[in-house]
Amino acid sequence: MSGLLITFEGIEGCGKSTQIERLAKQLPKVGRQVVTLREPGGTPIGEAIREVVKHPPGDATISPDAELLLMNASRAQLVQEAIRPALAKGAVVLCDRFYDSSLAYQGFGRELDMAKVQQAIDLAVGDTKPNLTLLLDIPLSVSQDRVSARHELTAELQDQFDESGANFFKRVLDGFHTLAKAEPDRFQIINGDQSLNNVTEEIWGSIQSHL
């Protein structure tokens, strides 16, 4: 069986992590080996980078260029250490974010030069590209409500991205839509603003032809 790379994208609170967990339980029932990973992170080096980019030390702020490079340093490590070996074994790799997040957040959100963002991505991923990208689409207002609820519920710390403001997230969301439109064969847009079970069903329907 050939390996399959499925990436999950969307703004904060879109429900990626929950749906990945559900899919990771479902796939072995149809005989597929599953590897779940996240970005930034997914390897010991990547997880250390995640901590720095989400919670910079003291009151330091990471510059947009440094953010781009750190995201892609984590990605380069993940591709080499985890994604390629898993695909070579025929696994289904479920990745919570991948390079579309750099295009959406660093390109559209931070408004870095897109060619520069693409260069960093190319260096990190080489020819390792997703077979399918699921964009869990929710309105900005739903994202804001879910993030506030999560902070209250878990006392989770605000991170560098939470502090970027509504205009930033509007650009990120519009950016994801632009990316999905540009590559309709790779992207599936999933309505993330419905019951968890309905989202799961929609995702399951979308991946059938790839299995």
* Residue 89 or 150 with smaller CB distance to ligand TMP: 150
39 binds ligand TMP (CB under 6 A): yes
CA angle, 190 as apex, 138 and 28 as ends, to 5°? 125
Choose which of 43, 101, 143, 188 interacts with ligand TMP (CB under 6 A). 101
Residue 172 or 207 with smaller CB distance to ligand TMP: 172
Residue 12 binding ligand TMP, by CB under 6 A: yes
- What residues from 153 to 192 belong to the interface with ligand TMP (CB under 6 A)? 161
Smallest separation, CB 110 to ligand TMP (Å): 8
Least Å distance between CB 68 and ligand TMP? 8
CB closer to ligand TMP out of 62 and 132: 62
From 20, 34, 71, 173, residue interacting with ligand TMP (rule: CB under 6 A)? 71
Residue among 94, 125, 72 nearest 18 (CA): 94
Q: Which 3-state string (H, E, C) describes the chain?
A: CCCEEEEEECCCCCCHHHHHHHHHHHHHHHCCCEEEEECCCCCHHHHHHHHHHHCCCCCCCCCHHHHHHHHHHHHHHHHHHHHHHHHHCCCEEEEECCHHHHHHHHHHHCCCCHHHHHHHHHHHHCCCCCCEEEEEECCHHHHHHHHHHHHHHHCCCCCCCHHHCHHHHHHHHHHHHHHHHHCCCCEEEEECCCCHHHHHHHHHHHHHHHC
154 or 208: CB nearest ligand TMP: 154
Q: Does 102 bind ligand TMP (CB under 6 A)?
A: yes
Q: Residue number with the shortest CB distance to ligand TMP?
A: 105
**Closest separation between CB of residue 123 and ligand TMP, Å?**
13
User: Considering the rule CB under 6 A, would residue 105 count as an interface residue with ligand TMP?
Assistant: yes
| Binding site residues, ligand TMP, CB under 6 A | 12, 39-40, 71, 96-97, 101-102, 105-106, 161
